Structure 1
Amino acid sequence: MFLAHFGVGLGAKAAAPRVSLGTLFVAAQFLDLLWPTLLLLGVESVRIAPGLTPGQPLQFEHYPVSHSLLAVLGWALLLSGGHYAWRRRGGDALVLGAAVLSHWLLDLLVHYPDLPLYPGSSPLLGFAWWSSLPLTLAAEFVLFALGLTFYLGATRARDAAGRWGVVGLVALLVIIQLSNTFGPPPGDVTALAWSAQAQWILVVWAYWLDRHRQVRRDDA
């Protein structure tokens, strides 16, 4: 999944309005922000297999550090605990931890059985929604639209940058989703990993956007 994860980050702003959208994006997409670095280091592996699934040319071979359930629970505790130690806001920390965990749960819906429960000889899980392109796209866009609706309901633009910045962010996310689904597969794993690192641009954009929007309940 791609759009749906960012939809979680957007929607979480309504539950944790004091947390920057950039931080919420980091939490919701943390596993896929970590994964390309682990690919480049040779810790995890993936195979490019065009035609393996409709719109998804990747066979995930080994990714227990970024995507096993046990590791994800550890990452969720690390991010939420770190935020609590810094900000001392338990509710916000819980939202961040839940956002990290949401990534694995959403991946569980779409992945073929390749998600481990723990590193090592673990059962592999996945409900294989990727076998149906209409179902996959419906899940991506519906969850993204829900998250965006919550985000727009919780915030308003301070200025033109806040108004048009969110339009640009949404447009870019949709373009990336469509490109990932209908575009050509990556040339090799290294190219895939470096292109995935570009997601940090979306995180930086979200931090910038947050400076140009404000929480609606703060209007008074």
Structure 2
Amino acid sequence: MYFGHFAVATVIKAKNPDVPAAPIFLGTGVLDILDGAFILAGFDKVTPNLKASPYLFFNLTFIDWDHSFLAALFWSWLWGLICYYIYKKNKKIGWVAAITAFLHFVCDLPLHNHDMAWYPFSKGHWGMGMWGTYHAWAWVVEAAFTVGMLIYAYRVHRDRGEKITWQLALIGLLTISLSPWLSPMKIVATWPEPYATIGHGSLILLGFLLPALICTWLYKRSGLDIGKKAAAKA
């Protein structure tokens, strides 16, 4: 899952207006931000495969350091702990940040092709395999899920007299950009190694980091975010 994670974060933010956007939107992608960094560092391994639809065009050969069950629990807990201390020991922010981060793992389960381990180097793996079974239709399912989440978030904000127009537009753009027909991963998968792996890791890292930072800025710009001092008092 990619754009669907940001849709989930939008709902979490809508339901928790007293939680800053940064712990939520960075948290929803923290596992893949780590994944991109670990691929670049050589800890995780991906393999180009132009038949790996609908939009990755890589096999996730080894992603145990961030997308195994125990690793996801650890990184989610650590992210929550970091946010807890950054925001002056605010327990709610810490919990929301940790839960948001772990929901990334949960939301990935239906789509991943049996490549999510129980723990690093374990033989048992998870993943219901919608990518491998339904191909382009898996993108349609994720897009429909995203639309549903965004409609719900829009209504929650609307009922409070708030607007998230630009946030919705950004996530819509992400949805289109990673469609089976426009995904930049398809081009990167044709590059010779090690450039394909470097390109994949870079796109994963930046593909989660930059939209998260932009979303955080958009919430601050629209007056729907709170700063550290306000969070500490909450």
TM-score bucket (shorter structure): 0.7 to 0.9
Secondary structure of the residue that 2:42 maps to in structure 1?
A: coil
CA distance in 1, matches of 2:155, 2:15: 11
1:142-184: CA deviation from partner (whole Å, max 9, x where unpaired): 3212332233234424xxxx64x33541342123222229954
How large is the Cα RMSD of the aligned pairs? 2.4
CA distance in 1, matches of 2:23, 2:107: 19
More strand by share: 1
Aligned to 1:108: 109
Aligned to 1:6: 6
CA distance in 1, matches of 2:186, 2:52: 15
Secondary structure of the residue that 1:60 maps to in structure 2?
A: strand
Aligned to 1:83: 83
Aligned to 1:24: 24
Contact 1:109 1:127 in 2 (8 A): yes
1:69 counterpart letter in structure 2 = F
Contact 2:30 2:101 in 1 (8 A): yes
Within 5 Å, which residues of 2 pair with 1:192-211?
192-199=200-207, 200-211=209-220
CA distance in 1, matches of 2:107, 2:12: 15
Aligned to 1:74: 74
1:32 counterpart letter in structure 2 = D
User: Across the two proteins, how many residue pairs are aligned to each other?
Assistant: 211
Aligned to 1:212: 221
Aligned to 1:145: 147
Contact 1:16 1:91 in 2 (8 A): no
Q: Which runs of 5+ in 2 are unaligned?
A: 226-234
CA distance in 2, matches of 1:182, 1:39: 15
CA distance in 1, matches of 2:144, 2:68: 26
178-187 or 30-39, which deviates more: 178-187
Q: Which runs of 5+ in 1 are unaligned?
A: none
